[in-house]
Amino acid sequence: MGIFDGQTAILFREDASGQRVYAPFGLWGGVYRVSNADVLRIQRHVKIFWLAALVIVVGLHITLGWRYNLLALPILLCGYFGMAGWHVRHLPRLPLSVRELPSVSRAELERRYSHAIGAPLLAMLTVSSVAFVAIGIWLLTKGAGAQAWFVVIFFGLCAISLFRQWRRARS
């Protein structure tokens, strides 16, 4: 279980007959039937992609500054959808649209995501976010400016979101 497992847990759905399907392009693309071997292959590639994207974003931020991440975002998204196109090139396309698939509620997607990451990791991330909020508040008491406010607000929102995910993963 890990953060990248959450990214892959929400990629696949079931059609009305119970077959596992993959619709990587949402409303703008097709629906493809996937076998268990295809699911594992796609999940492995997506995890590797998101790990590489994280390394790129952090590396750009450290070496060149956060503004370069704004330039990298469209390139990374194009890379992700290019990878998805590569995945579906040999998958059988079903005569369905995404609208014809049984709907999956946002709550169900959040539940899948939280369970895939796991309660222990979510608890650790929540505690880490709260620690960063405390550091930001401490910096504010020392006279720090806008960056400290950003730390407090950003990690405060992260802590709230992660706490909700942790509670969901425990249920």
Do residues 19 and 38 lie in contact, with contact meaning Cβ atoms separated by under 8 Å? no
Say if 110 falls within a structural domain.
no
Same domain, 92 and 150: no
pTM above 0.85, yes or no: no
Say if 154 falls within a structural domain.
yes
* Band (53; pLDDT cuts 50, 70, 90): very high
pLDDT at 84: 93
Average pLDDT, the chain: 90
Mean pLDDT, range 46-69, rounded to an integer: 91
Same domain, 34 and 96: yes
pLDDT at 1: 53
Mean pLDDT, range 17-22, rounded to an integer: 88
Q: Give how far Cα 146 sits from Cα of 9, 108, 129, 131, 149, Å.
A: 36, 37, 18, 18, 5
Mean pLDDT, range 77-98, rounded to an integer: 92
pLDDT at 86: 95
**Residue 43: which of 97, 96, 1 has the closest Cα?**
1
Instruction: State the residue range of the domain holding 124.
Output: 118-171
The total of other beta-carbon atoms located within 10 Å of residue 85's CB is: 12
Final residue of a structural domain among 57, 73, 102: 102
